[in-house]
Structure 1
Amino acid sequence: MTNTLVVEKAKTSKIQDVDFDNLSFGSVYSDHMLVCDYRNGKWEAPKVVPYQPLSLDPSAKIFHYGQSIFEGMKAYKDEAGDAWLFRPLENFKRLNKSAKRLAIPELPEEYFMEGLTTLLQLDKDWIPQNPGSSLYIRPFMFASGTGFHASPADEYKFIICTAPSGAYFSGKVKVLIEENYSRAANGGVGYAKAGGNYAGQFYPTQLAIEKGYNQVIWTDDNSHEYIEEAGAMNVFVRINDTLITGPTSDRILDGITRKSILDIANEEGIATEVRKISVHEVVEAAKTGELKEMFGAGTAAVISPISAFGYKDTDYDLPELQNSYASLLKKRITDIQYNRVADTFGWRYKV
């Protein structure tokens, strides 16, 4: 594909206008983006072009039937100025898994990987080196084909945009265990990174925020008896010295950070269990003092510690630990991401 990837450089750069010491998450955008169109039954050659608005017909099916998926990734710069990705092929595989579920044509691997690395090499100066900072990468695909008929589109767009960003969360979060609304259902699209999954979360999350919480812990759609995810992240619970997370399913996202945590925990000799976690078990463990930690895990925050949770009008505080699993695991992952230690897992990918 090397000979067919077209690169159109921006005439001027916006980088001199960016305060890299004060970056909010995903609100400043780099100079270029990758664009690839699906037409006439095949993906055309990708192009790297200046970051710019899109022009879409009002009848484009994305607006009417929600065929939209995305991924979240980061590029990191080490002290020597080299740029790295973290398990990018896992993001590619999950993108195509999501595409298949939403009847979107799957993307060739070389289009994703070569397009991404070309984009990052061009915008390498946009990868910040400040502690905790990174270049957030947003690959996404959506239906650009037109028509009001309720059917898959005949044209699609694949785009990668990037945004230099500081740390995603600061401090610990207080969460509410959801007793009414559900994030996903059996047989649904919960395992896909579909835009609609996140749209459906906003209202229940807003209700939780109005009650004084930062985020929602989602429970199963049938009984609301089992913990599933923390906001837009996978959730981990530590009872005594065992780290527990729910199994992936057609309701739960197969998180790349989640998989990495389990592998590192096993290497560290931390006992892990992948099984269903009941709300009752968590509440009882909180009452007896056996609940040591809860945290969310995802690309943006890596690990987001939970300081307290609410359930049935009662709040339960978690202890402050000197040597938490959350801090150990976050350091292990970020040390690999920023090329500070040897990568024994083979997860790091040089740009």
Structure 2
Amino acid sequence: MTLFACNNAKKAEKGSVFYTDYDTPYGTPPFDRITEDDFRPAFAYGMEQHSKEIDSLANNPEAPTYENTIVALDNSGKILERVSAVFFALEGADKTDAIEQIAIEVSPKLSEHNDNIYLNEQLFERIKTVYDQAENLNLTTEQKQLLNKYYKRFVRGGILLNDSAKQRLREINKELSALTLQYGNNVLKETNNFKLVIEDEKDLSGLPDAVIAAAAETAKANGMEGKWVFTLHKPSWIPFLQYADNRELREKLYKAMYMRGDNDNAYDNKEIVNKIVNLRIEKAKLMGYDTYADFVLEETMAKTPKAV
């Protein structure tokens, strides 16, 4: 149950499918009622409501407790959580041009929204108060874990930095969100654009009948009936590499996969990678770590690059 109620009047609007708990078996997203037009308003409303929840939490006149601070924080942002879960699942598995454009628009906004939370000094003071009293609160193991999670999340989010460093961190996070999205979009474009067209049936030697039939259907769908088309999508790519006798064609398909983003074309990622690496290095240094690997691995089982 969320700490803050949703406005029932929003139910008739685009995006309203995300504004309340799903009335479906097991609470699964009702994909049959979700359209691409729902995402923009749902993201906007979700961030708006989450910001109000955070503001109310940070300015709570009552003394901070585990319930009114940690539990309240954990229960906030449910609308944004729902729309994000569905949107980014689709963005990763079934991206359309419309989904791609929405991602480009909302990613920097989500980055800013996230920074507004984890750089909120009033909210952190409440969390720190509870954190400092943890040994006297008789918390369960699970409660301690949740408390530690949020305390570390704020620290790793830059809350202990000075004002100028916080501002630079915001800029880095915003730029990284755009660059990583662009990187992924370029890889996807390269994946979708590549086609290995086979015209000579002998080049299909070694391939199972089902794989050949699928390639014929792909060719037909692309206006090349009578030929066979193989792509970089795994159901096409893997069996060709596994079964095809033609080594030269296997090599061509293999290299096409691993050269995505490195073809000196409109979707080349070399400059983007360079920018991402440098920004990650700067972020790590800003946060007091020797390398970005040190920063990332700190919260994993490995803990340090040496242990990997």
TM range (shorter): under 0.3
TM-score, normalization by structure 2: 0.27
| More RCO (CA 8 Å, sep 6+) | 1
Task: Choose between structure 1 and 2: higher strand proportion.
Answer: 1
Bigger Rg, structure 1 or 2: 2
Task: Choose between structure 1 and 2: higher helix proportion.
Answer: 2
TM-score, normalization by structure 1: 0.24
